[in-house]
Structure 1
Amino acid sequence: MKLQTTIPLERRSEHLLDYDARVVLIGSCFVEHIGEKLAYYKFQAFQNPFGIVFHPKSVETIVARSFSKIPYTEEAVFEHNGLWHCFDAHSKWSSASKSDFIHNLNQQVHKTAEHLRNATHVILTLGTAWVYRYLKTNALVANCHKVPQKEFRKELLSIASVVHSLRYTTDLIKAMNPNTAVILTVSPVRHIKDGFVENTRSKAHLIAAIHELLSSQPESKGFYYFPSYEIMLDELRDYRFFKEDLVHPNTTAIAYIWDKFKTVWMEEDTLKTMTDIEAIQKGLAHKPFHPDSEAHQKFLRKLEQKKMTLQQRYPHLSF
């Protein structure tokens, strides 16, 4: 008896991830989850330089500014509730110092440009097609920073506008780095605050736009889709795979989707190396009852030898 629908997945035959890969991840919460897994397994990954961003226009802004290396100036920041903010960046970057804040933003611009130029893989995850337009400037924002809602107008990006944004974003990425693989995905997190029907409309616009783009930019050109949204809603069709808010995937769901991602994108030799790294990570996290005992010292020596063996193969690894 089959009790679960399964999304058919095939291992890629090209652009597979190995330990020489350099990955850039930009987008919503799914980026954070995959980025944390990549970091745990010691891949070379650079994620969300301006913090979590949810809609395609905010992703476009990051890539376009990095491509052109347009610096942030005083006109791009504002003070609110004792902190300096930027509508392009997440609140985690906000600062009490205006000059430090602008400096940090410009550092991220240069870092992002450098990583995009050298990336083997770029993962873009879209969370919503709903956007907020700041009425004073008519610009779309990535984060409202708790500025009063009356200063914004909420809009739903059309499928055509999402396609246009994605095409512009990916054209810039390919202009910087023609050989990089671009992996597009839709976040499985439902934006229930927008409304149930509104969330469905939003996800539908994103999915339709991505596949319209992919129909003109096929895999042969290094464009791919990973069905994280579909895996969550079809394979994990049960609230036991969600956190208590019934919106965000829980640890089990994240691990499940990560396993599916590995199935598609990891080389066999890479999977073996990941097993070795996981053993080291668990060893480093081990809390001994008797740290000075001979048995524990022997354990530490073996652990150090495992680290050295891996670092000889992959010098960039650090534990």
Structure 2
Amino acid sequence: MELQTRLKIPQHPQPISYASEILLMGSCFAGHMGGKLSSYQFRNTLNPFGTLFHPRGISHLLERAKAGRYFTTEDCFFHMERWHCHEVHSDLSHANREEMLKGLNNRLEATGDHLKKISHLVITLGTAWGYVRRESGQWVANCHKVPQREFDKVLSSPEDIRQDLKKALDLVFEANPGVSVIFTISPVRHIRDGFVENQRSKSHLFVALHELLEVYGDRGVTYFPAYELMMDELRDYRFYETDMLHPNALAVDYIWERFRSACILPSEYPIMARVEEIQRGLNHRPFHPESEAYTAFKKDLEEKMSSLKREYPFMSFDTGL
């Protein structure tokens, strides 16, 4: 008896391996996948400009990075005792404007260089709702708790989103013709917009993205159905956090397993198993740290780490031993 609707996910034409370098950008769900990749010691960079939800914000930052168009004082504003930039997340805000600009432009340079050499770009779209600052007409990726009355809320049309994503892809392929792009749509529902409004938003993302895939599918642009896995295979509130909106750890683990099966080269699974064994060992907390048994355990663990590092010098374990 089959008690679950199962999605058939095609194998990725250019699967991720330990030789890959990955850039992930987008919503908080990108953070979940980036965290898993980091745990398994894949080389990846996650959201260099913080969490981004709207396609236009992602496109603007890719354009900046590709062109090397630095942030300036005109891109900054002061609010609640900190300097902010509407194009990036609040995590990058700072009490000192010059320090903030220095940090942003260092990230900009690094991302521009990274675009030229990555093998995979993973973009997770969160919403089609965006905000325009009334005073300047500037499209913003983050409001930074500026009062809502200073913005107009806008629902981007599928055509607007398609154009934003097309611009982003064209820039990426110009910088790196061989890159493989994986799109996902975040399974997190933005209920603050309203239930119906959330559905409209996700619908616009789906329409725009799948129209784009029809054009760019033969260039290594693919879609991973994270949203569909959450809505169809994990159709139960036991897979949600207490807010009933965000996937919990069990759901993230499940979607990661499906991502691994579809998008990671099977020959890398034994290496992943070795990494996982080391991570479990590093998380182990002994009852008797001074015992001979634990001393032998630490020595064995260090030998396993050294062996992996000889094969993959880029791996770095937070030992704490």
TM range (shorter): over 0.9
Code of the residue aligned with 1:278 in structure 2: it is E
Aligned to 2:61: 62
CA distance in 1, matches of 2:114, 2:29: 20
**Residues 169-248 of structure 1: matches in 2 within 5 Å?**
169-218=168-217, 220-248=218-246
Aligned to 2:297: 299
Code of the residue aligned with 2:9 in structure 1: it is L
Aligned to 1:21: 20
CA distance in 2, matches of 1:306, 1:18: 20
Q: Quick check: 1:49 aligned with 2:48?
A: yes
Q: Quote how far apart the aligned CAs of 1:262 are.
A: 0.2
Code of the residue aligned with 1:163 in structure 2: it is R
Q: State the superposition RMSD in angstroms.
A: 0.8
Task: Output the TM-score relative to the length of structure 2.
Answer: 0.97
Aligned to 2:280: 282
Aligned to 1:160: 159
Code of the residue aligned with 1:96 in structure 2: it is A
CA distance in 2, matches of 1:19, 1:246: 35
Cα-to-partner distance string for 1:264-284 (whole Å, 9 max, x where unaligned): 011122111111101001111
Q: Quick check: 1:249 aligned with 2:235?
A: no
Q: Quote how far apart the aligned CAs of 1:288 are.
A: 1.0
CA distance in 2, matches of 1:130, 1:272: 42
CA distance in 2, matches of 1:244, 1:293: 41
Q: Quote how far apart the aligned CAs of 1:90 are.
A: 0.7
Q: Quote how far apart the aligned CAs of 1:131 are.
A: 0.4
SS class of match (1:118): coil
Aligned to 2:8: 8
Q: Quote how far apart the aligned CAs of 1:61 are.
A: 1.0
CA distance in 2, matches of 1:79, 1:261: 41
Query: Tell me, which stretches of 5 or more residues in structure 1 are unaligned?
Result: none
Q: Quote how far apart the aligned CAs of 1:306 are.
A: 0.8
Between the aligned residues of both structures, percent identity stands at 44
CA distance in 2, matches of 1:221, 1:235: 29
CA distance in 1, matches of 2:35, 2:195: 29
CA distance in 1, matches of 2:269, 2:205: 31
Cα-to-partner distance string for 1:31-78 (whole Å, 9 max, x where unaligned): 100011011111100010111000000001110000111111111000
Aligned to 1:118: 117
Aligned to 2:29: 30
SS class of match (1:295): helix
CA distance in 2, matches of 1:193, 1:21: 37
Code of the residue aligned with 2:244 in structure 1: it is L
Aligned to 1:136: 135
CA distance in 2, matches of 1:274, 1:172: 33
CA distance in 1, matches of 2:269, 2:155: 41
CA distance in 2, matches of 1:114, 1:182: 17
Q: Quote how far apart the aligned CAs of 1:293 are.
A: 1.4
CA distance in 2, matches of 1:216, 1:130: 24
Q: Quote how far apart the aligned CAs of 1:10 are.
A: 2.6
